[in-house]
Structure 1
Amino acid sequence: MTIIINSGYQKRTQKDYSLSLKHQIVFEIEQGELSTTGALKKYGIQSRSTIVGWLRKYGKFDWENQTPSHMPKTPEQKILELEAKVKLLEKQNAFLATQNTRADKKAIIFDMMIDIAEKEYNIEIRKNSSPEQLNNTKKPTKKA
């Protein structure tokens, strides 16, 4: 005679957990209603690392600075964050400046190419319109 004890443990895969269940578990843990081990038992989750991964992905805890986002940050942490932002913005600014100079150089080269083509082939590529012609091309406005 064999006795089978039902421990409530059921092998699951990541696909078994819906997004709403993950958010619910993270919410309960962050509100202090459950611990990670309590969530393991309550929801039949295999591993604590699964819940920790959800906390990192969906939770409000700031894992970079190791402080909850609702807690005020120290002045040192604020300074470090601002310094990191400044470095990032300086890099972006330098990149955009190089892109701008490249674009300017390209425009100059294209203008030179047009000038050469106009001289070589004796054709006008650029159209020099007089102000009167610009006024004539505008659509007439209807008067009510």
Structure 2
Amino acid sequence: MKKGKELMLTDSMEGFEEKKIDYNSYEVSFRRWLVSQIDSGNMSNQEARERFSLPPWEYKKIIRRWQERYSDEIHLTLRSMSSKERTDQKALEKRIKELEKQLELAQMKNVALNTMIDIAETDYKLEIRKKSGPKQ
């Protein structure tokens, strides 16, 4: 103990340092997402502080600063889908898969036709493709 002075709590806390967090290291996309969650009411400031380990003495200031920078004037919220919309969604997904298969087949056919034209032009010395530009 020190003589003549009171013992301070910080005098016996060797090895403990206050961890400084650089809030500029958070990605802008994360900041925008967090602000949108708070603005839409999906998360409170307190929940954000606990979930992302924001310091209790600074989190309000940090969130307020992020809200000033990244808050949208228009808040879009998605409503939940009804059962009819979900079945329609499944039908649409099935249609998308069918169209993707057709697209893949058409792309393979295009590659095959281009290969066939290349072979015909080189082997039989035919000019099948129209040349672009002024030299036709």
Q: Tell me the TM-score normalised to structure 1 length.
A: 0.37
**Higher RCO, 1 or 2 (CA under 8 Å, sep at least 6)?**
2
